[in-house]
């Protein structure tokens, strides 16, 4: 038996059902990772995410090599080029089984449907497994068999199912070693424009597991109290590893399932949100096609003020916490989760700019960018999505700043123009010029912007 194992967002050897299924006794296994340039463009994948994925693939190749499994990397221009590439590989390797992990986006679902047909014509067995979610889409349904659209009842059902489903074999390659190992070209690591971030985001499963254990030991107990404070190391920062599958979210839940306390419960709930948005993307593919979940909100008439958008992108809005968060994103490829909500709602409801502009910008910057989570969170903040925040809930950026960065430490770090300002004025600096500040005046009047947003949302809601 010759098996081709196509790695996607499952770059790990622990709790990888696709890898375990492919590595059957007596099988000869070849791994492949495809760089699909059209897909990367379509998803606005950040260059820092591509760099992180490339480094993660190199680590995976080293892990697989210990078991005699080679991993090759190939580039394709688009989805249409995949079948011809597979045909070439088959002529070389003579594989008769293809193993993949499911992906839930509409483009990926369409791609796999066509590839399954191609495999059928070529007499290649197609094997598909769920490796990206804790509970796969289709498993968490209401009593009438329909998908949940509200998170709280979804989480309740999800938790009961997680408790009933013990983790499968954790080490997918235990006892497997391919003899003789195939001899193919090694994966090389070239220089990177993001090399300055490599120490901040080391790649690979070993690093991910180390960070998971450190988080459990040092931060988990207080997670519910500190997760909203960006100046503290209160979050796990594991999202990049979940995003490309270097770390199994199911394995992470397994690690904490017997830990009591509100910190563990809150963190598991956050992982449930990640599953929830994956399920929404699967059941309602329109959200992955630039459509709102709440279709009536497509009637909203957004501002096209590109200057305001650029100031938001560059962290020059005159709202210190907003600017600090946006600068963190540009410089690290990551943003604290609380700040993702605050900055998103500010763009939509204070600047009245289409949430899709922000969704795209985030994907172009984030090392942990995922279509389902990014879209779900943006639509939640914009009050256009599933289980969205009510349109009349609008964050006050000054209040959010005082509440979640009370000492101003996060602001001072990322907005050094304000490092010497009096603490009482830090969250809402005086007008430009009064203290010779090198910091812009507020880009908008929050109170007026709030009234405009309320009126616009109320108008479209009344027409439904």
Of 270, 331, 396, 417, which is the active-site residue? 270
Beta bridge partners of 34: 74
The pLDDT value recorded for residue 210 is: 98
Task: Give yes or no: 355 in active site.
Answer: yes
**Same-domain status, 310 and 455:** yes
| Contacts of 185-193 spanning 24+ positions with Cβ under 8 A | 185/72, 186/61, 187/57, 187/58, 187/61, 187/71, 187/72, 187/73, 189/54, 189/55, 189/58, 192/51, 192/54, 193/47, 193/51
Please check whether residues 71 and 8 belong to one and the same domain.
yes
Same domain, 254 and 373: no
Please report the pLDDT score of residue 82 as a whole number.
98
One domain, residues 387 and 418: yes
Residue in this structure with the two tokens 């079948």, named with its chain if needed: 83
CA distances from 354 to 11, 70, 385 (A): 34, 45, 13
Catalytic residue among 222, 305, 331, 337, which?
Answer: 337
Q: Is 337 a catalytic residue?
A: yes
Smallest CA-to-CA distance from 141 within 122, 166, 160, 115 is with: 160
Structural domain includes residue 15: yes
End of a domain among 224, 251, 283? 283
The answer to whether residue 372 sits within a structural domain is: yes
Instruction: Indicate if 213 and 110 belong to the same structural domain.
Output: no
Let me know whether 6 and 58 are in one domain.
yes
CB-based contacts of 120, cutoff 8 Å, min separation 6: 126
Q: What was the pLDDT predicted at 423?
A: 83
Q: What is the pLDDT of residue 429?
A: 86
Q: Which two tokens stand for residue 213?
A: 């254990």
- Give the active site residue among 158, 267, 355, 380: 355
Angle (nearest 5°) at CA 390 between 386 and 391: 110
270 an active-site residue?
A: yes
Residues 29 and 42 reside in one and the same domain: yes
> Which CATH number does the domain housing residue 357 bear?
1.10.579.10
State residue 228 phi and psi, 5-degree precision: -95, 5
160/179 Cα distance (integer angstroms): 43
Total number of domains in the chain: 3
Per-residue pLDDT, 177: 84
The number of beta carbons lying within 10 Å of the beta carbon of residue 427 is 22
List the structure tokens of 358: 């922000």
Dist CA 242 CA 175 (whole Å) = 26
Quick check: is 443 in a domain? yes
Query: What local confidence, expressed as pLDDT, does residue 180 receive?
Result: 61
CA dihedral (198, 200, 204, 208) in degrees, to 10, reads 180
Handedness of CA 135, 112, 385, 350 (dihedral sign): positive
CA angle centred on 16, ends 364 and 172, rounded to 5°: 145
pLDDT along the chain (464 residues), means of 10: 96 96 93 96 96 95 93 96 97 96 97 98 97 96 96 96 81 79 55 84 97 97 97 96 97 93 97 98 96 95 97 97 98 97 98 98 98 97 88 93 96 94 87 65 96 95 76
Res 176: pLDDT: 86
Q: The domain spanning residue 123 has which CATH number? A: 3.40.50.620
Catalytic residue, candidates 118, 207, 222, 302: 302
Q: Which residues of 321-331 are buried (b: 16+ CB within 10 A; e: fewer)?
A: bbbbbbbbbee
337-345 helix and 371-382 helix, angle to the nearest 10 degrees: 50
pLDDT for 437 equals 66
pLDDT reported for residue 434? 46
Q: Is 378 an active-site residue?
A: yes
The pLDDT score that the predictor gives to residue 1 is: 87
Q: Judge if 24 and 69 occupy the same domain.
A: yes
Does residue 184 sit within a domain? no
**290 is a domain residue:** no
Residue 267 lies in a domain: yes
Claim to verify: residue 127 and residue 160 sit in the same structural domain:
no
Spot the catalytic one: 158, 273, 380, 414. Answer: 273
User: Is 158 inside any structural domain?
Assistant: yes
CATH number of the domain that residue 227 is part of: 1.25.40.80
Q: Which of 6, 158, 361, 378 is catalytic?
A: 378
For residues 306 and 433, membership in a common domain is answered with: yes
Residue 289 lies in a domain: no
Predicted pLDDT at 387? 80
- Residue 125's beta-bridge partner residues? 97
Residues facing 6 on adjacent strands: 32, 100
Catalytic residue check, 302 = yes
Q: Are residues 453 and 315 in the same domain?
A: yes
The phi and psi torsions of 112 (rounded to 5 degrees) equal: -70, -30
Q: Of 107, 131, 155, which closes a domain?
A: 131
Query: In terms of domains, do 276 and 303 share one?
Result: no
Domain boundary among 227, 251, 283: 283
**Residue 280 in 3-state DSSP?**
helix
Range of the domain at 434: 295-462
């Amino acid at each position: 038996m010759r098996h081709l194992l196509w790695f996607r967002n499952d770059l790990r050897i622990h709790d990888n059902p696709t890898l375990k299924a492919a590595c059957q006794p007596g099988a000869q296994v070849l791994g492949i990772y495809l760089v699909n340039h059209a897909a990367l463009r379509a998803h606005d994948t950040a260059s820092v995410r591509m760099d992180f994925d490339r480094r993660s693939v190199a680590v995976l190749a080293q892990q697989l090599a210990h078991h005699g499994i080679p991993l090759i990397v190939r580039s394709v221009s688009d989805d249409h080029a995949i079948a011809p590439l597979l045909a070439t590989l088959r002529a070389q390797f003579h594989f008769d089984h293809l193993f993949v992990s499911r992906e839930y986006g509409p483009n990926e679902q369409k791609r796999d449907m066509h590839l399954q047909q191609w495999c059928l014509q070529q007499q290649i067995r197609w094997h598909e497994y769920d490796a990206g979610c804790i509970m796969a889409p289709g498993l968490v349904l209401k009593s009438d068999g329909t998908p949940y659209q509200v998170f709280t009842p979804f989480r309740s059902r999800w938790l009961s199912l997680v408790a009933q489903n013990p983790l499968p074999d954790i080490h997918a390659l235990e006892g497997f070693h391919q003899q003789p190992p195939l001899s193919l070209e090694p994966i090389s690591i070239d220089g990177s424009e993001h090399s300055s971030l490599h120490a901040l985001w080391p790649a690979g499963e070993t690093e991910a597991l180390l960070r998971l254990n450190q988080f459990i030991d040092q931060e988990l107990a207080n997670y519910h109290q500190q997760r909203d404070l960006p100046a503290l190391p209160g979050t796990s920062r594991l999202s990049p590893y979940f995003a490309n599958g270097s770390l199994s979210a199911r394995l992470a839940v397994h690690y904490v399932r017997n830990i009591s306390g509100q910190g563990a419960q809150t963190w598991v709930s956050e992982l449930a949100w990640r599953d929830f948005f994956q399920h929404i993307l699967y059941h309602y593919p329109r959200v992955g096609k630039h459509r709102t979940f709440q279709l009536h909100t497509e009637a909203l008439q957004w501002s096209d003020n590109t200057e305001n958008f650029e100031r938001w992108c560059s962290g020059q809005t005159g709202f210190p916490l907003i600017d600090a968060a946006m600068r963190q994103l540009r410089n690290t490829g990551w943003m604290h989760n609380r700040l993702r909500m605050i900055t998103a709602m500010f763009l939509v409801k204070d600047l009245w700019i289409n949430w899709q502009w922000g969704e795209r910008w985030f994907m172009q910057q984030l090392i942990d960018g995922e279509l389902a989570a990014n879209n779900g969170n943006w639509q939640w903040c914009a009050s256009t999505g599933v289980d969205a925040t009510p349109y009349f809930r609008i964050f006050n950026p000054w209040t959010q700043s005082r509440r979640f960065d009370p000492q101003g430490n996060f602001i001072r770090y990322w907005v050094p123009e304000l490092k010497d300002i009096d603490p009482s004025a830090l969250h809402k600096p005086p007008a430009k010029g009064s203290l010779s500040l090198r910091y812009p005046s507020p880009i908008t009047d929050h109170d007026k912007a709030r009234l405009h947003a309320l009126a616009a949302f109320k108008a479209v809601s009344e027409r439904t």
